[in-house]
Structure 1
Amino acid sequence: MEIRHTTNPTDFKEYKTERLRSDFLIDSLFVKGEINLTYSHYDRVVAGGAIPTTEALKLEDKETLKTEYFLERREVGIINIGAEGTVLVDGEAYTLNKRDCLYVGLGNKEVLFESSNASDPAKFYIVSTPAHKQYPTKKAPIDDAEPNRLGSDSESNKRTIYKYIHADGIQSCQLMMGMTLLEPNNMWNTMPAHLHDRRMEIYLYFDMDEDARVFHFMGQPDETRHIVVKNEQAVLSPPWSIHSGVGTSNYTFIWAMAGENYTFTDMDQVKMDELK
């Protein structure tokens, strides 16, 4: 498991492109036949990807977590962004189609990932946070999720938001997770920008063409920077940072949050004239 340490906004102002990318960009989530995980010291979130082919992949890393099994002190949210696959939780199978979500709570000892077709595998995106209480394992198919349609073509941000793991949906200790789909010819997300200093966030960008890019903006409102992101890459966003982006075409992204406050609407809005 790769380890990412935290930084403070004063030091962040001096970072050049490569330092920004090495600290905040997760660029190799999905590799066929592998499970890849990154441990962030921002709220001790683990983010990763799994592409099982002919063999099942097990969610584990005893050396990093120093526990007997992965979910001994954690919970996890899983969204499939590939073809059909199955997650086995202590022997119980949950089939996930593209954009379906599964929450697995504290105390489940074995989590396995399988693809229905090795030549057209599933791609499981994984976000895990520390947990203090056991909540039941629950699946949320995309077809059952309530769409929240926002934005407009004139603002280039016409989009549909699906909330999966949150206070009014699948219950968890602190993990919140959902997905935003931008309509064709719409490229902006989360602008005007906001902060939520009580929790961090991770963005996974996907459903992008090979040559498409998203310019992900981060930093304090008066000291913004950007990271150029391609398909199936993720960005860690510190609590003190904005998290916004614009693409060369439309795209989809999964947002996941963790921290002290479990309220989805806990946002400190940033006025446009504060951005620099």
Structure 2
Amino acid sequence: MEVRYSPDKNGFKKMTTDELRQSFLIESLFVKNEVPMVYSDIDRSITGSAVPAGKELTLTASKKEMAAEFFCERREVGVLNIGNKGKIILDGAEYTMNFRDALYIGRGTKEVKFLSDDPDKPAEFYFVSYPAHKEYPSKHIKYEDAIHRNLGSMESSNKRTIHQYILPEILPTCQLAMGLTELEEGCVWNTMPAHTHQRRSEVYMYFNLSEDDFVVHLIGDPKETRHLIIRDRQAVLSTSWSLHSGCGTRSYSFIWAMGGENQAFDDMDHIPMKELR
């Protein structure tokens, strides 16, 4: 497990491109038959993936970073499958995971295993975890059971559908909220007008990009922004004081996950467009 430490606002302003990427960009996800993870001091999130291609993968705790006997001893996890059909086994209970299905894994779950139905066409599980103070039941949320919200417009190049999977309206969690945003063809902007939310942090994972395409992801103070070039199946960490928005070379999708003080999806500190610099 890789450990990341985030800078404060003053330190952030002095960082080079490489330093920004090393602090906030996660490039090492979706490696076949491995479970790469990044532990961040930003709300103690853990971001990772599992691509079981011919073998069963197990989510295990890192005792050095987590001081736990098993991963969910004091944590909850949100998982979303962006690959082919697979399965997740929680303490012997089996959940069939189709493309764009999600699974909430509650605190206290001792065994988490990932499998693919076809090793040549594996499932691609992406997950984000936050500390949990209480045990809530694990729950499978199928794509058709998510809340689907249509936002934006073609005129502003941000017509998109937000699929909300893990929110209080669907199931109880300690702090985790998670969903998927898909942009319409021809639309390239996400989360614009931009916002921050001082009460929680967020992780974005971009996908559905070709090898030559990328997203210019904006981070930092709204009046002194920086950017990261993010490619397919890479994730970016966002602090509570940083805006998070992006513009791609083509339409794309991204998974968002949040943790912090509350779970109200619309609790955002909006930034007037004229104030961005």
TM-score (norm 1): 0.99
Quote the offset at 1:170 in angstroms.
2.3
Where do residues 84-233 of structure 1 align in structure 2 (5 Å cutoff)?
84-233=85-234
Q: Which ranges of structure 2 fall in alignment gaps of 5 or more residues?
A: none
Q: Which deviates more from structure 2 when the two are superposed, residues 256-265 or residues 16-25?
A: 256-265
Where do residues 57-68 of structure 1 align in structure 2 (5 Å cutoff)?
57-63=57-63, 64-68=65-69
Q: 2:209 corresponds to which letter in structure 1?
A: M
1:63-102: CA deviations, max 9, x gaps? 2211111000000000001111100000111011111100
* Matched position secondary structure for 1:35: coil
Q: Counterpart of 1:255?
A: 256
Q: 1:52 corresponds to which letter in structure 2?
A: P
Structure 1 runs of 4+ aligned residues shifted over 2 Å read: 61-64
Judge conservation of contact 2:5–2:40 (CA < 8 Å) in 1: yes
Q: Counterpart of 1:37?
A: 37
Judge conservation of contact 2:147–2:165 (CA < 8 Å) in 1: no
Identity of aligned residues (%): 51
* Matched position secondary structure for 2:39: strand
Give me the whole-angstrom Cα distance separating, in 1, the residues matched to 2:23 and 2:53. 30
Quote the offset at 1:239 in angstroms.
0.5
* Matched position secondary structure for 2:42: coil
Give me the whole-angstrom Cα distance separating, in 1, the residues matched to 2:146 and 2:197. 25
Q: 1:47 corresponds to which letter in structure 2?
A: T
Quote the offset at 1:219 in angstroms.
0.3
Give me the whole-angstrom Cα distance separating, in 1, the residues matched to 2:80 and 2:117. 16
Matched length: 276
Give me the whole-angstrom Cα distance separating, in 2, the residues matched to 1:2 and 1:21. 14
Quote the offset at 1:158 in angstroms.
0.5
Give me the whole-angstrom Cα distance separating, in 2, the residues matched to 1:98 and 1:227. 28
1:189-245: CA deviations, max 9, x gaps? 001100101110000000111111000000011110000000000000010000000
* Matched position secondary structure for 2:244: strand
Give me the whole-angstrom Cα distance separating, in 2, the residues matched to 1:145 and 1:3. 32
1:125-170: CA deviations, max 9, x gaps? 0101000111111011112223111111100000000111112112
Q: Counterpart of 1:19?
A: 19
Give me the whole-angstrom Cα distance separating, in 1, the residues matched to 2:256 and 2:240. 14
* Matched position secondary structure for 2:157: coil
Judge conservation of contact 2:25–2:234 (CA < 8 Å) in 1: yes
Give me the whole-angstrom Cα distance separating, in 1, the residues matched to 2:143 and 2:72. 25
Q: 2:72 corresponds to which letter in structure 1?
A: L
Judge conservation of contact 2:196–2:240 (CA < 8 Å) in 1: yes
Quote the offset at 1:274 in angstroms.
1.2
Q: Counterpart of 1:237?
A: 238
Give me the whole-angstrom Cα distance separating, in 1, the residues matched to 2:85 and 2:172. 24
1:47-76: CA deviations, max 9, x gaps? 001101111111012322111110000000
Q: Which ranges of structure 1 fall in alignment gaps of 5 or more residues?
A: none
